[in-house]
Chain A
Amino acid sequence: MASIELQHVSKLYAPGVYGVKDVSLQIEDGEFIIFLGPSGCGKSTTLRVIAGLESHSEGRVLIDGKLVNGVAPRDRNVAVVFQSYALYPHMSVGQNMAFGLRMRGLPRGEIEAKVKSATALLGLSGYLDRKPAALSGGQRQRVALGRAIVREPAAFLLDEPLSNLDAQLRAEMRLELVKLHRRLGRTIVHVTHDQVEAMTMGDRICIMRGGAMVQVGRPLDVYANPADTFVAKFLASPPMNLVPATLQATPEGGLALAIANGTSLAVPPAYAASYRAFVGRPVILGLRPEDFYEAPREPAWQPVALTVVALEALGAETVLVGQIGTDPPVELSARLSRHMAGSAGQTVTLYLDPDPMHLFDPATTRLIPRPPAPARARIAA
């Protein structure tokens, strides 16, 4: 088992062109951490830098407290599972899984025992003699995982291992990986661009953008308190509604947000002190789609009239896309119960729970800090 530490790691492709930009991160021994970000954000490059497959230009990489800058991948005691699986096509399943052990000179008996145990664990016992071409996508993914497991490395580095699987298999494998982590207790670094994987699998999420780390934290903490508008939009589907607004003081001494066409939303009094410095200035209001309801449950919930643009019935829930005002129209999405009915053009009134709202500074796109929202279980509408 091993901890992994990145200290101010950068990778330059050309002067001023960063693949990874000043990433510092401490990954604890046995932790399951997710690198999340859009394509080209540097998450896979960071993973390959940890594995030693790509050199970095600046900074230090430590595995289990030992500096591994310049150490060959084979001497880092990490295993990588690639998005493409990277199974050796000329070798059978058994040979693929045994390859790493053979390279390390283990006795044949020991190799066979380890391969047997890993194939049993992954449900691949009947496939030892098959070539990768004769396996399904899910089986190949398991072999790639098995090849990593048999080596008993200090850490697993998984580079989007689930992205080539269909939705059902991906959900199954998500659970399998979490179980595997519990069973093996090894450090896992998992790279993905899938928010569901990020939210459900890891102890912590590290969100990257443009080669730099934007935010690190426990999934629900990051979800509830996104560091900036990028994280707010990226970490959910449908993403957080980001609405341009102006913060105003009310005659009663409170604060309100003026959005399109005269629509006004009251700011919860608990946040007034934090936001008062922004009175009279434009801000970006962040509202999660699930904070809209079809009926009020609390007196503080605020009615919002929306003209329906589209209704996406997903079975378990319905996503309503609607507009506030017309000049200019502001589009919002709301995640509602499956019982929500309506049609395009119809005006509906939804009720907003304002407590989870966030404000972002349009100049920096950073979150404007406020006190934590009062804890409350989501109320079924």
Chain B
Amino acid sequence: MSAPAAMRDPDGRGRAGPRRLGSHIGLVLACALILLPPLWVLRTSFVPEPQTYSSDLMPGATLDNYVGLLTRNKFASFYLNSVIVALGSVVLALPFAAMTGYAFARFRTGGRLTRFAVLATQMLPPVALVLPTFAIFRAFGLTDSRLGLTLAYAALNLPFLTWILMGFFEGVPVDLEWAAMTDGTTAWGAFWRIVVPVSLPGLAAAGVLGFILAWNEFLFALVLTGPVTQTIPVALASLQSSNGVQIGKVSAGVVLAVVPLVIASRFIQRFIVQGLTFGGVK
């Protein structure tokens, strides 16, 4: 006689029942809730502009939205602005964030209060920061420039990146630094030669997160840039005329804007999962 199903499959995975069906329906609905908006944007980006609000699933297929966006709307140059500003801000902020985060993690510099004070700047509403920033940047001639926005993003992201890296550095065994210091390095040498290479996954993850934040930022970009130096979020917002929003082009722009983020997400996953410290210590 064969064993009962429940005994063959103790975790109940093979068991079909109303509860299981109910949970599947719930999951499908949740997936639909998350996936339908981006799928609708993808669909709309390929639909001719006059038919974008059609109730048909795919009333036509065209690349006109993409072509128009890249030629008439100079989207490529705004894309380049976003890449330069987002990458530049990360390259600028990451070394400082690494050094600050390491000092907080290893030497408890400034105590707990300073740690929270650093994060407190992140809690202010951006609109409270953007006007003084604009006034200061205008005084230094940094408005309507990619450099200005890069500096602003680097400053805005620094506390966030510092906190991420502080957590990562706290996980690096101090024994590694001690070993390096008895092996002949200074504390700075131990940081540079051991801690930084060991923390590359954390640095990469923090860098990607900083890139995503800068890539998506709208308010500072709106205030600090001009018609030539604007970034993608501002460019997308400007795709409206007296006839209304050009939803086909906006959708195409969103699809193009999302591509680097999808790539970055894959990258970040790989680096967060991978732990370089494995094997170095027991």
Contacts and interface: CB of A to CB of B under 8 A. Distances in A.
A74 B182 contact: yes
A200 interface: no
A72 B181 contact: yes
B174 to A, nearest CB: 9
Interface in A11-58: 48, 51-53
A100 interface: yes
A103 B279 contact: no
Nearest to A163: B282
B110 interface: no
B232 interface: no
A92 B182 CA distance: 19
Given A99-B183, A104-B184, A88 B198 contact: yes
Given A86-B178, A88-B198, A103 B183 contact: yes
Given A82-B175, A89-B198, A103-B189, A137 B182 contact: no
A140 B279 CA distance: 8
Contacts of B279: 87, 89, 131-135, 140
A74 B178 contact: no
A78 interface: yes
Given A72-B186, A74-B186, A80 B282 contact: no
Nearest to A134: B279
A90 B197 contact: yes
Contacts of A264: none
A89 B181 contact: no
A325 interface: no
A142 to B, nearest CB: 14
A220 B197 CA distance: 47
Contacts of B180: 88, 99
A151 interface: yes
A89 B181 CA distance: 16
Interface in A57-98: 72-74, 76, 78-80, 82-90
Given A86-B173, A88-B198, A103-B189, A73 B178 contact: yes
A189 to B, nearest CB: 13
A133 B280 CA distance: 7
Contacts of B282: 83-85, 137, 140, 164
A74 B183 contact: yes
Interface in B148-190: 173, 175-176, 178-186, 189
Interface string B265-282: 000000000001111111
**Residue among B175, B179, B189, B276 with the highest chain A CB neighbour number at 10 A:** B179
Interface residues of B, number: 24
B278 A73 contact: no
Task: Place the interface of chain A in its size category.
Answer: 20 to 34
Interface string B197-212: 1101000000000000
Contacts of A53: 178, 181-182
B92 interface: no
A80 B278 contact: no
Contacts of B175: 82-84, 86
Q: Which of A51, A73, A83, A86 has the most CB of B within 10 A?
A: A86
A90 to B, nearest CB: 5
A87 B197 CA distance: 13
A303 B86 CA distance: 86
B264 interface: no
A140 B281 CA distance: 9
A157 to B, nearest CB: 8
Given A82-B175, A88-B176, A88-B198, A132 B183 contact: no
A100 B278 CA distance: 21
Contacts of B281: 82, 84-87, 89
A147 interface: yes
Contacts of A78: 182
Contacts of B200: 90
B202 to A, nearest CB: 13
A84 B173 contact: yes
A88 B184 contact: no
B130 interface: no
A89 B182 contact: no
A175 B257 CA distance: 64
Given A85-B281, A86-B173, A80 B179 contact: yes
B198 A90 contact: yes
A205 to B, nearest CB: 24
Contacts of A79: 182-183
A78 B178 CA distance: 12
Contacts of B280: 85-89, 132-133
Interface in B225-275: none
Contacts of B198: 88-90
A100 B182 CA distance: 8
Contacts of A88: 176, 179-180, 194, 197-198, 280
Nearest to B278: A133
A308 to B, nearest CB: 40
B169 to A, nearest CB: 15
A43 to B, nearest CB: 16
A48 B179 CA distance: 11
Nearest to A131: B279
Nearest to A132: B279
Interface in A107-145: 131-135, 137, 140
B194 A51 contact: no
A188 B176 CA distance: 21
A103 B184 contact: yes
Given A80-B178, A87-B281, 11 more contacts: A76-B182, A78-B182, A79-B182, A82-B179, A84-B173, A88-B198, A89-B276, A100-B182, A104-B184, A135-B279, A140-B282
14 contacts: A73-B178, A74-B181, A74-B183, A74-B184, A79-B182, A79-B183, A82-B179, A84-B173, A84-B281, A90-B197, A90-B200, A100-B183, A135-B279, A164-B282
Interface of B: 173, 175-176, 178-186, 189, 194, 197-198, 200, 276-282
